[in-house]
Amino acid sequence: MSATPTTRPVVTEREARQVAEAAREQHWRKPSFAKELFLGRFRLDLIHPHPLPADEDVRRGEEFLTRLRAFCETEIDSARIEREARIPDETINGLKELGALGMKIDPEYGGLGLTQVYYNKALALAGSASPAVGALLSAHQSIGVPQPLKMFGTPEQKERFLPRCARTDISAFLLTEPDVGSDPARLATTAVPDGDDYVLDGVKLWTTNGVVAGLLVVMARVPQTEGHKGGITAFVVEASSPGITVENRNAFMGLRGLENGVTRFQGVRVPAANRIGPEGAGLKIALTTLNTGRLSLPAMCAGAGKWCLKIAREWAGVREQWGKPVALHEAVGSKIAFIAATTFALEAVLDLSSQMADEDRNDIRIEAALAKLYGSEMAWLMADELVQIRGGRGFETAESLKARGERAVPAEQILRDLRINRIFEGSTEIMHLLIAREAVDAHLSVAGDLIDPDKSLQDKARAGAQAGVFYAKWLPRLIAGPGQLPRSYAEFRHGGADLSPHLRYIERTARKLARSTFYAMSRWQGRMETKQGFLGRIVDIGAELFAMSAACVRAELLRSRGENGREAYQLADAFCHQARLRVDALFTRLWSNTDALDRKLVKGVLSGTYAWLEEGVVDPSDDGPWIADTHTPATPRPDVRRTVPE
């Protein structure tokens, strides 16, 4: 069946922002530690004492981790996956038999019903054996069919699809298009109502798991017509439906075993019963799903940090230069210290955020986003430092090392594999903007109309009165706090181990961060949203403070339970000292930076002013469009969808 080419919507910058704003959760029904932190309020009571899982959850979780570890050690051949650029059928089937596809699915639907904490521990374990396996499990459960159905599906939909997801069918999430990334307002895939069905037409790009999936979550635009509200809508689609073609299996610099493709829909009929939620709710469903779904990436980043630390410790203790192990040379030792301290902090952020998600006492949308942002950035840095510590062997492939008789350490592979995490599920740049929007929500709620050009004078006057009341109470509280009292947070002081200075620093710095944000909003007002460099640094400061808080709280938890408490305090102390240096540098760069100069320079680059600088090289790129034209009817292409035989 030949489909009519879809027409891409023409969307202005303001309209795109309105679509994104309408999709976000508008209200805060529960407290948020990170939100309070950005407002200058260090609510340690929201995370300390550290929340803990129930004993039964621990028992079931540890039991599964034991089985998963045995499988990872005996049944996952990471070198083979890297060499063949695919996960073997028997490995996928083994994961199914193990129940790994249903880790987050309730037992009543055939799943394991693991908590977020143990789901993330499982992903860290599987991802350490093979990042491609970790990505397959994560994409299936964190953003694929199970999570949106768990949160928004009808009882009938759960009964139909969740048992399949738990045991047999891999799922995929399809939102991105060749010309649509973080701007879903321009989504071109359509779902046209036709009787009791919708008819899907369009092309989806970078469909992780899409090559092997049996079930798809597809975001498509429903036209607004009589009886149909329309808007971006979510559907569960059978991957074997007539009219679906996987046109390409994409290949990447890392995650070579990733089953990621290009999927075309041509007149695909989807029953209305497969629609998730009402029409127009697709983006809200996607964003809400990601609130906890984003924790899967920092889980694998924390696992990567643990592996980097292990290799750095073992190698740097054996390799000698100038009469002593390279670890004892300060230039190398500082890198190992960074890896160790940062790994401790990443695990602290992950476990704290995951346990808060399980308890459902707090709104963790900012915490999860910060965990994803911070984890992906810091894991990349740790892997880069590991390659540097390994020297030439870090640049050499594991296969080459093995061929000449040395341990096959895939350091260069983990660097390649981790790179995508700074782009997956919201790039670092988009995460900065998303978190910044949530961080200033309280300000926009009371004073947003003052800077909105579309609001009337009456609306602005009313907003001005509201803002006056809010800031009269809020601003004085930013002047002084417990961070200025030398005996504050004494419960984090035990003999020679003392983390209380770091907690006082966090409290003082949170107030400074809030004052800086308020000053910037007063200075730039409606132009604040264009100051992406400033907003990014504000968010990065908040991320460091959150990580410091999590590290201190985790260290105290381990001390109180007699689990390497002394060593945990040392790691937390080292991390906090390192983080404080980064925070101080970020504060300096808030106001002393090259943002204005960079904006001027980039205009010159785009206009060709500096094109002469590109002379003297050849471009090995092939000819072709920068973005594939998917608006024309498809040319016949083979379907490369892969069916995994059981």
- Within the chain, what is the greatest distance between any pair of CA atoms? 81
**Single-letter residue type at 625:** P
**Given CA atoms 499, 504, 505, 511 in this order, what sign does their dihedral have?**
positive
Tokens 């700074």 appear where?
422
Q: Are 201 and 4 in contact (CB under 8 A)?
A: yes
Q: What count of other Cβ atoms lies within 10 Å of the Cβ of residue 380?
A: 20
Catalytic residue among 425, 438, 507, 544: 425
- Assess whether 425 carries a catalytic annotation: yes
Helix (H, G, I), strand (E, B) or coil at 497: strand
Which two tokens mark 398? 């594991």
Burial code (b: 16+ CB inside 10 Å, e: under 16) for 178-210 equals bbbbeebbbbbbbbbbeeebbbbbbbbbbbbbb
Which two tokens mark 230? 């329309």
Q: Are 355 and 61 in contact (CB under 8 A)?
A: no
Report the candidate in 256, 422, 311, 288 with the shortest Cα–Cα distance to residue 364.
Answer: 288
Helix (H, G, I), strand (E, B) or coil at 217: strand
The CA-based angle 42-34-120, given to 5 degrees, is 125
Taking phi over 0 as left and psi of -120 to 50 as alpha, with beta for the rest, 322 belongs to: left
Report the candidate in 452, 187, 175, 199 with the shortest Cα–Cα distance to residue 290.
Answer: 175
Which two tokens mark 416? 């390649």
646: exposed, middle or buried (Cβ count in 10 Å: 0-12, 13-18, 19+): exposed
CA-CA distance, 620 to 68, in Å (whole number)? 44
Q: What are phi and psi of 319, to 5 degrees?
A: -70, 125
Beta-carbon contacts of 98 under 8 Å, excluding residues fewer than 6 positions away, are: 67, 68, 71
Q: Are 131 and 254 in contact (CB under 8 A)?
A: yes
CA distances from 527 to 454, 520, 522 (A): 15, 10, 10
Tokens 């990014």 appear where?
536
End-to-end CA distance of the chain: 31
CA-CA distance, 525 to 198, in Å (whole number)? 44
Q: Are 150 and 159 in contact (CB under 8 A)?
A: no
**Single-letter residue type at 225:** T
Q: State the catalytic residues.
A: 425
